[in-house]
Amino acid sequence: MLTLFFRAIILYSFSVLAVRLMGKRQIGQLQPYELVAAILIADLVAEPMSGAETPLLYGIVPVSALVLMHSLFGILGMKSPAARRLLNGSARVLVLDGSIQYEELKRVCITVSDLLEMIRAAGTMSISDVGTAVLETNGALSVFPRAQCRAVSTGDMGLSPQEDTLPHILIADGKYRPQEIARAGLTRERLDAFLRRQGIGDQDRILLCALDHEKNIFLQLCGSQARRIQLEEALCGEA
């Protein structure tokens, strides 16, 4: 039994490594050849994991071959548009200018009921609000509303807002992030001084401290409410 335990650990670790080497796509975003590889990996490691008489290499070698083939297919897809279409297929426009493209539905074996369900899943209640719907190569449906039904944007209003950027995570789970602190244009000393002015002497209590693109600091301690403080206000009074 102990042998099976360690064999399971080894094969599980190797399978995780193999999937990690194959990339970071979510399951719902897998291309056909990626989905096949994921299914085969699960099948190939099952027998060596449960049967002590089966050599571990009987699982490791074929999984390694799958990772190699996955890498080759990925390179082919990047280098050759024809190979990419062969491996991944092509996107299909199922709704164009507000009209359902029935011939395209037949090609991808999707019924009208299926299409309506996918449109609702994409967040649009009525087909009459859809201007264009595209079935992507990974099976997801991209839905674009008609011009009359889309939300008013800042561009429509003639505004030029500041572009959003990812916030700088300065401290998370009580741990400093030195690279993010530097990217934010701060120093550890200035950050510590700010925390002391907020009555925080122990960073281990900090659940999250982040600086957003509007120069607002989000600060929350474990077990307490979040605070939002403007950076200039937070750093005022420094010597």
Between 185 and 18, the higher pLDDT residue? 185
Query: Which pLDDT score, from 0 to 100, does residue 239 have?
Result: 47
Query: Does residue 161 lie in a domain region?
Result: no
Residue 223 pLDDT exceeds 80:
yes
Q: Are residues 77 and 7 in the same domain?
A: yes
pLDDT per position as a tens digit, 195-210: 888 888 888 889 999 9
Query: Which pLDDT score, from 0 to 100, does residue 230 have?
Result: 82
Domain, as residue range, for 195: 168-235
Q: Are residues 185 and 222 in the same domain?
A: yes
Residue 129 C-alpha from the chain's centroid:
28
**pTM beyond 0.75, yes or no:** no
Closest CA to 49 of 2, 19, 5, 16: 5
Q: Are residues 130 and 187 in the same domain?
A: no
State the total domains in the chain: 3
Q: Are residues 11 and 82 in the same domain?
A: yes
Query: Does residue 154 lie in a domain region?
Result: no
Residue 147 pLDDT exceeds 70:
yes
Q: What percentage of the chain exceeds 90 in pLDDT?
A: 24
Query: Does residue 128 lie in a domain region?
Result: yes
Residue 144 pLDDT exceeds 50:
yes
Q: Are residues 172 and 116 in the same domain?
A: no
pLDDT per position as a tens digit, 37-90: 777 887 888 877 777 777 878 788 888 888 888 788 888 878 888 887 777 778
Q: How far apart are the first and last CA of the chain?
A: 66
Q: Are residues 128 and 184 in the same domain?
A: no
pLDDT per position as a tens digit, 126-143: 888 999 999 988 788 999
